[in-house]
Structure 1
Amino acid sequence: MSFENLPILVILVLSVLGHNNSVAIAAGALLLVKLSGFDNYFPIIENHGLQLGIILITMSVLVPIVKGSITMNDMASVFTTPTGLVAITIGVIVAWLAGRGLPFMSTTPEVVTPLIIGTVVGVAFFKGLAVGPLIASGIVWFFLTLIQACR
């Protein structure tokens, strides 16, 4: 195995040591894909994996509604509690930021590496989730836009 696999091995080891199964499985699967010679599929994973992940996350969030665990009355009642109103507001802000993050990452590729490193550290050592890069990129975009506007 060459040294070009060292970064993903480090991520794999750190995620195993940090007991983060999602990153360990992702890193191990990608390493396996590469070592088995199927790395020609990386562009497909890179271009469509995020969309597939968003679809799966959205599906998992919608399951309680489909199962009937959350009813129309439950959904209507969230507008009457401070927690519900704050949660709706934060949900809108995070979705808006993530929507700005994806194009920002595409047009500012130098931000991708530090975001990935930050996400891996957050997931491996702080029990975070790997959904961070989009939201983090949106937050970076927001602060950079704010700084430019204040100039």
Structure 2
Amino acid sequence: MESWLFLAAILIVALLAKNQSLIIATAVVLVLKALPISEKVLPVIQAKGINWGVTVISVAILVPIATGQIGFKELISAFKTPAGFIAVGCGVLVAVLSAKGVGLLAASPEMTVALVFGTIMGVVFLKGIAAGPVIAAGITYTILTIFNLVPIH
């Protein structure tokens, strides 16, 4: 019963904050939880959902390459600017930090609760996005802003 109340509270907060992603995610989890197969489906989503999400984000990121909007010329150009080097560095940093984070969660599962709560608060109250690769872009943007290197297009 507690999980239903917790999810309902998250849904209410998401609705009040008008956060479509969190509304959809919570509604999907509530519907899945109500299904007779939830005991089989939810653990699979818990175990593989992050990887599926990263895959979907990766596909979206690769689309400009597939459409020809980004090619080798743009890749080489990125390495000619401080912003490009910072972006590559942030990508590496996020990958390393993510690996450390997975290790932390495996060693200390109770951290998941704090991370979920923090993510929900960030998404709802600070208009954040719960996505890993986007973090790298956010860190990059922050560093570029500090050094006044934000590319203007």
TM bucket (normalised to shorter chain) is 0.7 to 0.9
- Please give the alpha-carbon distance, in whole angstroms, between the structure 1 residues aligned to 2:95 and 2:47: 20
- Please give the alpha-carbon distance, in whole angstroms, between the structure 1 residues aligned to 2:54 and 2:109: 21
Cα 1:110–1:3 shift into 2, 3 Å? closer
- Please give the alpha-carbon distance, in whole angstroms, between the structure 1 residues aligned to 2:35 and 2:91: 40
- Please give the alpha-carbon distance, in whole angstroms, between the structure 2 residues aligned to 1:84 and 1:3: 47
Encode CA deviations 1:67-121: one digit per residue, 9 max, x unaligned: 1100100000111111111111111111111122112211111211111100000
Amino acid at match of 1:16: L
Percent identity for Structure 1 against Structure 2: 35
* 1:23–1:130 CA contact under 8 A, matched in 2: no
3-state SS of paired residue (1:80): coil
- Please give the alpha-carbon distance, in whole angstroms, between the structure 2 residues aligned to 1:20 and 1:106: 29
Partner of residue 73, structure 1: 73
Partner of residue 105, structure 1: 105
Partner of residue 7, structure 1: 6
Matches within 5 A, 1:36-51: 36-40=35-39, 41-51=41-51
- Please give the alpha-carbon distance, in whole angstroms, between the structure 1 residues aligned to 2:37 and 2:22: 20
The answer on 1:96 being equivalent to 2:96 is yes
Partner of residue 127, structure 2: 127
Answer 1 or 2: which has greater helix percent: 1
- Please give the alpha-carbon distance, in whole angstroms, between the structure 2 residues aligned to 1:25 and 1:5: 16
Q: With structure 1 as the length reference, what TM-score do the two structures score?
A: 0.81
Stretches of structure 1 lacking an aligned partner (at least 5 in a row): 136-151
Q: How many residues align?
A: 132
3-state SS of paired residue (1:68): coil
Encode CA deviations 1:34-78: one digit per residue, 9 max, x unaligned: 123331211111111111111111111111111110010000011
Question: Structure 1 residue 28: deviation in Å?
Answer: 0.5
Partner of residue 29, structure 1: 28
Q: With structure 2 as the length reference, what TM-score do the two structures score?
A: 0.80
- Please give the alpha-carbon distance, in whole angstroms, between the structure 1 residues aligned to 2:2 and 2:108: 27
